[in-house]
Structures are given as structure tokens and as C-alpha cells.
Chain A
Amino acid sequence: MSAASDVTFAQVAATLGLVGVAVLVSLWQRMRLEGDIAVAVARSFLQLTAVGFVIALVFEGDSLVLVVALIAVMALFGAFTARRRAPSVPKAFLPLLIALGLAGTATLVLLVVLGVFSPEPRYLVPLGGMVIGNSMTAAAVALNRLGDEVTASRREIEATLALGATATQAARPIVRRSLRSGVIPLIDSTKTTGVIFFPGIMVGLLVAGAEPLDAVRLQLIILYMLLGSVSIASVTAVVLAQRNFFTPAQQLLEPIVSGEED
């Protein structure tokens, strides 16, 4: 293979040999994951091919309206997916949708205003996808932690409410811990980038034939961009969602505490 831009379907098919290794390992160790591997391969092929056609259409249309529509759809699916990962958070969908929409919009607008990228579909669509994807993961982790923290800290929260604290004041310590959970994985991977692993963008650019330092600069832009967007998404999702654990009368919903249920 000479350059990544010349990749053929035959070359993609050839890499199925490595998938075959995964299937063999599954059979050998009786992991019973062959079906899941097949589904994963088929879905990734279909989904990426479909999105490739959609992106091609958006590029050809060269319209910012299409870009906004595509990012809105990504935020919508992202919010659905993240909601499933935080089942103990009541009414999590809307906070997640707002969080992903805000993270995507704010980050892309800032990149354009700062002159990092020009406002063209070629830049905004892939960057928007990265922002929404990473924001979704971080917001889901943060909300999942929020649900666990509320369950584990009911006694502390209610004891604080009993002192005349508002729901926001009572939830402040758990909000802080949940936000840290959402953002820390990206901070850690940013710290170790280039030492323990090469990030995907940089690998892609190098394989496609870019100069290494050009690849590094673009990768740094992406990493710093993601730190900002992930923080926006986590804080928006957690701050909005924590209200859903409380009634307007500053009462914690479902106040069942083990050992105090009488």
C-alpha cells in the first residue's frame, strides 16, 4: 500500500485476515464471541460506508446548513446512547442532548473564530464527529458516576438538605466527583500521548504520507480541542441532570435509605 488515500476494498478485505485470528482465538478458548465479532465487523462496515456517503454528500453540497444538520443528528444519537449508559439518572436525555449540542457548537465556533480552521464542511464535519463522540463518552461516564454517587450518598445529601441547603448545595460534592470522573480519562490519555500510544489522527496522517511534525501539530490541536469540549459536555450534563434527582421542594427523590426505612 503506497498511500492511505488509495486504499481499495480489496485491501480492506485483506485485513479480515486479522479478524479471522480473533475468531480463531474465540473458538480456541471457547469465548463464544464469534457471533459478536461478526456483527461488529458487519455493522462497522455498513455504518462507516453509509456515513462515508453522507459525508461525501455534505462535502459536495458545501453548505453549512448541512453541517449543522449532520452534527445535530450526531448529538441526538449520542444523547440516546449516553442515556443508556446512565440508567439511574432520571430524565437524562435532555441534559445530554443540550450538553452534546453545546459542546459541539461552542468548540467548532471557537476553532473558527480563533482562525484554527476555516468554516468549511471538510473540517467541521470530521471535527464535529470527534467532539460529539468524545463528549458523549465523557458525559456518559460523568452521569453514570453521578447516579452511583447519589445512591451511595443519600444519607449525606439528606443530612445536608436538613440543614437548609438547596438541592444544588447538597449535591455540590457529588457533582464535583462526577465531573472529575468524566474529564480525568481524557486528561490521562493526553498526558501519555506520544509515550504510551499514538493517537488515531496522527497515525492516520502519518500513514497517509504527512510530514511527522505536521501530523503532531494537528494532533495537538485536536487534543486541546477535545479537552475543552469534554469539559463543556461533562459540566453541562451533570449540572442539568443533578436537578432531576430532586423535587422543587428540595427533596431527594426515592429517599430509601437502608436501615432507616421505617
Chain B
Amino acid sequence: MLFELERVSATRGRRDVLREVSLSLPEGSSCIAGDSGSGKSTLLRLLNRLADPTAGTIAYRGRALGTLDVLELRREVALVPQLPALLAGTVAENVAFGPSLIGREVEVGPALELAGLAADFAGREAERLSVGEQQRVMLARALALEPQVLLLDEPTSALDERARDRVEETLVDLRRRLGLSIVLVTHDLAQAERLADRIVRLDAGRVVGAGGEGPEVRRAPARTQ
């Protein structure tokens, strides 16, 4: 099992955001779906320890998250946030940043191409790109770490329909080519059905449906090209 959560509760600020959530996310492609305020982004942040739960336990591939080296965990389980947050500098500098932290050099061109950007984006200033392009650089930046798991927080929320379709194609392609496990957070149940093998639905911090078991959730195969 990729992730197992047992009676996990979490707060943000002083607000209870997750309440005794228990669920399993298998290897492959999973989706956490829910409306705004359902706790889905907070749940994603718990999976690579950008935050810790106030109660309960989380295991990653059978090992308790708290026992793992947090920096290694974040390189292995890479999170791409909802909104782009790039460093000042070129696209290449942004893509190379993560690997450089552990003294590793990276080929920027292939990482960009994996994320659906042409290699000649490398020299462009990150701040001057469109939001959609920045979001792809965020994805390339995470892929440059050569992670085993990608955590994606609403990766298409800032994009128009055409750009969204391209990102979805990229994600399907990534999974096929790299064998990555993906945990995707979205408010769009249709997107969840297009992309995920397993869907967990959250509402007000509680699981209201999972896999094919929930009353409001259908099990959906990942879309193939």
C-alpha cells in the first residue's frame, strides 16, 4: 500500500480540517476529490510532511511517516502545489534547484519535455511565463528530483479547458513512461474519474466515499491515449 491513514485529524490555524480520516491509497493513480474546504489540500500536505496531523498515524509503503528522514521523503514523494511559486531566475535554474540541494546535476531539457514544455524554455525567465507554463515548470521541477510519487494539488485549477486537457495528457503519459504513483487532489469529480484508478471523496474533513464503495463515487480507469 502506498499510503495508509488511520484516524487522522488535522487543523489549519485553529480550524479542524480533517476529522479521524482513515483510508488507503494503493500504488498507481489515486484521486482525492472534494469541494473547497473539504480538507483535501491539507491531506495532501500531510503525505510529504509539509504539515503533521494532530492525531492518528500515516504510513508510507508500510513505514510510519515520522520515522523517515523528512528531506529524503520530500524528494521521493514530491508535491506540486496548487499555485505556481517559482524562484526568481530562469526556468533552468528552477528545474535544477531541487537536485542541486543534494549536489546532483540534472538535464533540464528532458525534465521540461516530460512536463510538456519545449526544451528551449530553459533560458526563459520564470516570472515572465504564463500561469499554465509556470505550472508545468513546477511539474518539471518536481520531476527533476526523480520522485517515486507525485502529489498534485489541483494542477489544472488555474488553466483553461484546452490547457487542462494537455496537462491531463501529460499526467497519463508520465505515469505510463515513468511508472510513477500519483495522488491528485481536485474539486472536479469528472477529472478524478478521467485520471484515477481509485477515488476518495472528502466532505467537511471526513471521507464520504472511497473506491467503488462510496455511494457518490464510481471507480474509473485511467484514461489512455
Contact = CB atoms under 8 A, between A and B. Distances in A.
A166 B74 CA distance: 11
A161 interface: yes
Contacts, number: 90
Interface in A156-192: 156, 158-166, 169, 173
Interface in A235-262: 247, 249-252, 254-256, 259-262
A145 B19 CA distance: 36
Contacts of B101: 163-165, 169
A169 B87 CA distance: 12
A162 B17 contact: no
A249 B70 contact: yes
A164 B83 contact: no
B74 A159 contact: no
Interface string B86-108: 11100000000110011000000
Tell me which of A160, A162, A256 has the highest count of chain B C-beta atoms within 10 A of its own C-beta.
A162
Interface residues of B, number: 43
Contact of B83 (A161, A166, A260, A262): A260
A155 interface: yes
Nearest to B144: A163
Contact of A164 (B34, B35, B72): B72
A159 B12 CA distance: 17
Interface stretch (B42-50, B172-180, B188-196): B42-50
Contact of B79 (A162, A250, A261): A162
Chain A interface size range: 20 to 34
B30 to A, nearest CB: 18
A255 B88 CA distance: 22
A236 B86 CA distance: 28
B75 A249 contact: no
Interface in B116-134: none
A126 B72 CA distance: 52
Contact of A262 (B17, B87, B141): B17
B203 to A, nearest CB: 11
A160 B141 CA distance: 10
Contacts of B138: 159
Contacts of B41: 260-262
Contacts of B38: 262
B155 interface: no
B28 interface: no
Contacts of B48: 162
Given A249-B49, A251-B49, A162 B37 contact: no
A162 B39 contact: no
A45 B45 CA distance: 56
B52 A249 contact: yes
B149 interface: no
Contacts of B37: 261-262
B85 A159 contact: yes
Nearest to A254: B13
B142 interface: yes
B87 A156 contact: yes
A156 B134 CA distance: 13
Given A155-B83, A261-B12, A163 B52 contact: no
B145 interface: yes
Interface in B30-84: 34-42, 45, 48-52, 70-72, 74-75, 78-83
Among A155, A159, A161, A249: residue with most chain B CB under 10 A: A159
Nearest to B205: A262
Contacts of A164: 71-72, 74-75, 98, 101-102, 145
Contacts of A259: 82-83
5 contacts: A161-B50, A251-B51, A251-B52, A261-B15, A262-B35
Given A163-B98, A247-B52, 13 more contacts: A155-B81, A158-B50, A158-B81, A158-B85, A159-B86, A251-B51, A255-B12, A256-B12, A259-B83, A260-B82, A260-B83, A262-B38, A262-B40
Interface of B: 12-13, 15, 17, 34-42, 45, 48-52, 70-72, 74-75, 78-83, 85-88, 97-98, 101-102, 138, 141-142, 145, 153
